[in-house]
Amino acid sequence: MASHTRVVEMMSCEITGDLVVRGKPDPEIFELAAKTLGADAAACVVIEDTPVGCEAGQSAGMRTIAVPSIRDRAAFERCADAVIHSLYDLDLAKFGLPAFEDWLPLDDGSADAVLPIPPVVMRGPVVKGFGRGAKELGIPTANLDVAALKFQVDSLAPGIYLGFAKLRGKIYQQVMSIGWNPFFDNAKKTIEPWLLHDFGDDGDFYGEELELVVSAYLRPEADFTTLEALITRIHRDAEVARTMLQREELKHTVELLH
């Protein structure tokens, strides 16, 4: 937490491992936290990234949310009340706590909403991906090299995002995935932006310089039951992006593109 001083300053108390005798999965650290806060265990929510941490939370009589630090989500199902993909997906209202107020609803009667994030800029040449965007999905993507953008990618949880792109001197809206694409079970992490424009026969971007600004988080990655369901959801993501990128809260982020 040393790099997150503002977060620490907002905490009512700090309980660390050197203050207890027994480590997780023993519940001592959580019991001490509740005692220090003067809170009943049943009113507490534990957020953990390991199975032993979740076990400790449940043993303390607290509701437990897992944000896995490993890809094996099944390891958490027996010891957590909820398993989420990232802290972006944390919904404390489901646990009787005040809801976050920074999500922007689409206001079309659907449950779709986006979460504005500190904008992240990425730049690099377009590289070859798995070759299935246009062929299998009918959705051509302009992939970037994850290795060259490790710092930017590591600052974002795997999921679906929206923002703007600059290619060949022009600006486009874009929706993108960052992660492993559970439907295809990719062996490596990818950055796959879809520029929301019909380039026709002029859509071969390999080697060309692409700039992106990631402006908001839309949803976690998901393992769809059929290819058709995946395609339908991606097109819905595009609809959401086109609408939300016109909102005042997001459209200014285009100014970060040179």
Closest among 62, 63, 65, 32 to 48, alpha carbons compared? 65
Tell me if residue 248 is catalytic.
no
**CA-CA distances (angstroms) from residue 117 to 84, 157, 217, 255?**
18, 11, 7, 15
The Cα 48–Cα 64 span in angstroms is 7
**CA-CA distances (angstroms) from residue 226 to 112, 131, 183, 229, 240?**
21, 19, 8, 5, 21
Is there a contact between 129 and 142 (Cβ–Cβ < 8 Å)?
Answer: no
Is there a contact between 63 and 44 (Cβ–Cβ < 8 Å)?
Answer: yes
Closest among 78, 73, 86, 106 to 178, alpha carbons compared? 86
Which residue shows structure tokens 């040393």? 2
* Residue tagged active-site, from 9, 55, 192, 209: 192
The Cα 145–Cα 127 span in angstroms is 6
Q: Catalytic residue numbers?
A: 192
